[in-house]
């Protein structure tokens, strides 16, 4: 068992050393486990001819991974080309990839070799593969399965030995379900998937990358590289980075130009790059889109709020009852801190103001009460006198109605009463149209 563990540790150490060498060779900055996992997968698949699908958001560096795979493969001495499928017009992409014969279409004054023919034996990196037209996808599938293709306007079948590395920032499986991408091609490309992590998932790498870009900028223009203090680094790491590494490089260069000092603080960073303080939290929909036509979403939310407020009021009533029992029955509380913890927190001043007995009054009352007690009496149990027990009358607890219709009617009644019967103001307060309110008034005969 120890021999196996030792061997495994040696393999891991060798892999880590290999990854560090690859990072230095290709200028990759970062120590994130997610980045190392993606890089390790690229290294393992490089020596094969399997198709690779690289996924990740725009700007994470998918093309860098394709170059690493090509450089570490047996095809490293052959040609490599990166093709953006979304940048080639739909009418000419077949000609670009597979070539065409003279006279195949208007403007084809001579024959032309396509990428699959020109880069035979090499590697084709097809970026934004999700933008490829459906007919081109069928031709590409044939190349992947048989290595055969036909020029546009020709009838002769040709063969090619090209390795395909595809990349996309879209969810190809969702596009398959929508009929925008061929399912058979998806599974053919997805032989070995590599997911390049987004920059926001590599927070430990953000400042390292920033320093690299700042130093590169300073060397290019022969200036002193900028640095960030601790608060500025925290701001940098908490930004969501929708543009990923590409956006980080732009910001590093922007701050290098605009910063007045070489040690940049959080305030100066925010002045140079105002969007750096945006957290991109979920937005509250506008009032026009808050609810459906029947007002169902609004009703459910309002009912939920009402229940929460009622529960809080009930809890405050229960606390008040406990304090009154202590006061009126001359009871001994073993630990005053337990009672103090029942008081409404300081963060709810609006609720504390509604309590009959304030927190400070309860504390003072308990303190004075305990100071006047001797040791023997302090252990007296909490018992209500019999006459006090008999003074309470039995009560029946009635469950509150949870009917949406009843609660909706109650809310409308309260809104009309609040605004003295003015329907327009009541409808705005309820978050529904005046027409819907009028219909509800007739429905409930209010």
SS (H, E, C) 244-308: HHHHHHHHHHHHHHHCCCCEECHHHHHHHCHHHHCCCCCCCCCHHHCCCCCCHHHHHHHHHHHHH
Q: Rg of the chain's alpha carbons, rounded to an integer?
A: 36
| Rounded distance between C-alpha atoms, residue 430 and residue 433, angstroms | 9
Maximum Cα interatomic distance, the chain, rounded to a whole number of Å: 113
Whether the Cβ atoms of residue 287 and residue 325 lie closer than 8 Å to each other:
no
Q: Which of 298, 291, 259 is nearest to 408 (CA)?
A: 298
For 44-93, the DSSP string reads HHHTS---EEEE--TTS-HHHHHHHHHHTSTTTTS-EEEEEGGGS-TTTH
Same fold, 33-197 and 200-277: no
Statement: 404-444 belongs to CATH 1.10.10? yes
Q: Tens of pLDDT along the chain (446 residues)?
A: 455 555 556 656 666 778 899 999 999 999 999 999 999 999 999 999 999 999 999 999 999 999 999 999 999 999 999 999 999 998 899 999 999 998 888 888 889 999 999 999 999 999 999 999 999 999 999 999 999 999 999 889 999 999 999 999 999 999 999 999 999 999 999 999 999 999 999 999 999 999 999 999 999 999 999 999 999 999 999 999 999 999 999 999 999 999 989 999 999 999 999 888 876 544 444 444 444 444 445 556 667 767 777 787 788 888 788 777 777 776 666 555 555 555 555 444 444 444 444 445 445 545 554 555 544 444 455 555 555 545 545 555 556 666 777 778 888 888 888 888 888 888 888 888 888 887 888 887 77
Q: Which of 338, 400, 382 is nearest to 363 (CA)?
A: 338
Per domain, the residue ranges of the chain are 1-31, 33-197, 200-277, 296-389, 404-444
In the block, tokens 């957290």 appear at 279
Architecture of domain 33-197: 3-Layer(aba) Sandwich (3.40)
Share in percent of the chain as helix, strand, coil (round to 5) = 55, 10, 35
CATH class of 200-277: mainly alpha
Please give the helix or strand (H or E) that residue 127 lies within, else none.
Answer: strand 123-127
């Amino acid at each position: 068992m120890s021999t196996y563990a030792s061997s495994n540790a040696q393999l891991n150490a060798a892999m880590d050393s290999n990854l560090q060498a690859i990072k230095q060779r290709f200028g990759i900055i970062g120590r994130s486990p997610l980045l190392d996992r993606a890089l390790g997968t690229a290294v393992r698949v490089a020596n094969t001819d399997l198709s690779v699908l690289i996924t990740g958001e725009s700007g994470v560096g998918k093309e860098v991974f394709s170059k690493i795979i090509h450089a570490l493969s047996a095809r490293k001495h052959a040609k490599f080309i990166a093709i953006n499928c979304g940048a080639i017009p739909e009418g000419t992409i077949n000609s670009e990839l597979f070539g065409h014969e003279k006279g195949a279409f208007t403007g084809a004054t001579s024959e032309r070799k396509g990428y699959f023919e020109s880069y035979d034996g090499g590697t084709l990196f097809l970026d934004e593969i999700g933008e490829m037209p459906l007919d081109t996808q069928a031709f590409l599938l044939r190349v992947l399965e048989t290595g055969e293709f036909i020029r546009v306007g020709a009838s002769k079948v040709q063969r090619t030995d090209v390795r395909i590395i595809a990349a996309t920032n879209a969810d190809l499986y969702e596009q398959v379900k929508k009929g925008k991408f061929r399912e058979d091609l998806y599974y053919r490309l997805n032989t070995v998937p590599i997911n390049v992590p987004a920059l926001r998932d590599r927070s430990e790498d953000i400042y390292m990358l920033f320093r690299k870009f700042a130093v590169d900028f300073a060397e290019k223009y022969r200036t002193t590289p900028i640095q960030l203090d601790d608060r500025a680094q925290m701001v940098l790491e908490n930004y969501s980075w929708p543009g990923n590494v590409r956006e980080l490089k732009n910001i590093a260069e922007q701050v290098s130009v605009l910063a007045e000092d070489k040690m940049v603080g959080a305030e100066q960073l925010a002045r140079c790059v105002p969007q750096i303080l945006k957290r991109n939290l979920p937005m509250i929909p506008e009032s026009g889109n808050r609810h459906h036509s029947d007002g169902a979403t609004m009703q459910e939310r309002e009912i939920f709020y009402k229940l929460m407020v009622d529960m809080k009021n009930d809890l405050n009533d229960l606390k008040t009852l406990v304090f009154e029992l202590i006061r009126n029955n001359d009871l001994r509380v073993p630990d005053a801190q337990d009672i103090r913890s029942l008081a409404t927190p300081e963060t709810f001043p609006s609720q504390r103001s509604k309590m009959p007995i304030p927190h400070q009054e309860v504390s003072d009352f308990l303190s004075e009460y305990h100071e006047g007690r001797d040791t023997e009496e302090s252990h007296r149990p909490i018992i209500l006198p019999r006459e006090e027990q008999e003074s309470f009358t039995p009560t029946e607890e009635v469950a509150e109605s949870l009917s949406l219709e009843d609660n909706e009617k109650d809310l409308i009644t309260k809104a009309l009463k609040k605004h003295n019967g003015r329907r327009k103001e009541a409808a705005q307060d309820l978050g529904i149209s005046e027409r819907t309110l009028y219909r509800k008034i007739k429905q409930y005969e209010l």
